Structure 1
Amino acid sequence: MLLTADHVRLMARYNGWQNAQIMRAVDGVSLKLLTEDHGAHFGSILGTLNHLLWADRLWLNRFGAGVEPPGGGIAEGTALTPTGAAWSAERFALDGRISAWARDLLSIDLTGDLTWHSAVKGAGISRPLALCVTHMFNHQTHHRGQVHAMLTRAGLAAPETDLAFMPEDIE
C-alpha cells in the first residue's frame, strides 16, 4: 500500500477542519442533548466524540507521535471528557498534535509494519503502518458521520463534510 506524507498532511488538515466545525456546532448545546442516547453505536454525541478522542490518542501513541495512550478500554473511552467544552479543549490540543506529527512525516516513515497488542482481539497484531494510518483517518470520518446524523436528528446545524469543499487556508 502506497501512502504519502502529503496525503497524511491532507487528512490531518481535513480532521482539524471537521473537528473545528463540530466544536462550533456543539458550543452552547445542553449537556442533556449531548449525552442523550441517539441510537448510534456509542450512544450519544458526546460519547461518540469521546470515543474518537480516545481512539486517536491510542493510534498516535502507537505511531510514536509523543501522545500518551488513553486510560481504560473502549467502553471507558466514551466518558473521556464530561462536557462539550472539555471535549473541545482536548480535541483542539490533540488535533494540534496530529498536525505536528503529519507535518514532520516523510513518506519513508510510512513504510513497514506496526506491531501492537490489541486488547479488543486479545492478541498481538502486526499490520502495514500505512494501513493503520489510513484506518485512523477513516475511523474519524466514520464516527464523525454518525455525529453529523445525530446533530441533524437533534435539529442542530451539522457541519459541511465534503473534502472537496475544504477551504484552502485551513492549517
Structure 2
Amino acid sequence: MPEDRLAAPLAWMSGARGQRTTRPCRVAAAHFLNRRTHHRGQAHCLLAQVGARPEDTDLPWMVDLGALGLG
C-alpha cells in the first residue's frame, strides 16, 4: 500500500466504543493483520487439542497462486 494511503485517516463507526473513530490507516492495517494472526493461532490450537493435525496455515502455502493467475 502506498505510504500516502497508509498515512491517510480512516474513519469508521466503532461498535466497541459506540462512536465514530478516526485513526491513520496504518494503525488499522496493523490491527487487522495482528488480529488475523491471533485467530489463526486460536483455530490451530483448538484443532490440535481435539487431536486433529492441521495442515499448514501459513498464507503463502495456503493460497493457490495458479488459480489466481499469479503463479
Same-fold status (TM-score > 0.5) = yes
2:40 to 139, 144, 147: 144
Q: Greater RCO between the two (CA within 8 Å, min separation 6)?
A: 1
What amino acid does structure 1 have at the position aligned with 2:46?
A: M
> Structure 2: 5+ residue runs without aligned partners?
66-71
Question: Distance between the aligned counterparts of 1:155 and 1:109, measured in 2?
Answer: 44
- For the pair 1:125 / 2:21, whether they are aligned, the reply is yes
> Is 1:112 aligned to residue 11 of structure 2?
no
Greater fraction helix: 1
Task: Output the amino acid matched with 1:143.
Answer: H
Larger relative strand fraction: 2
Gaps of 5+ in 1: 6-105
Report sequence identity in percent. 33
Instruction: Give the 5 Å matches for 1:46-61.
Output: none
The answer to whether residue 56 in structure 2 is matched with residue 160 in structure 1 is: yes
CA–CA distance in structure 2, aligned partners of residues 130 and 170 of structure 1: 27
Aligned residues: 64
Structure with higher Rg: it is 2
Q: Which amino acid aligns with 2:41?
A: G
Give the structure 2 partner of residue 38 of structure 1. none
Deviations 1:28-50 (A, max 9, x none): xxxxxxxxxxxxxxxxxxxxxxx
User: TM-score, length-normalised on structure 2?
Assistant: 0.70
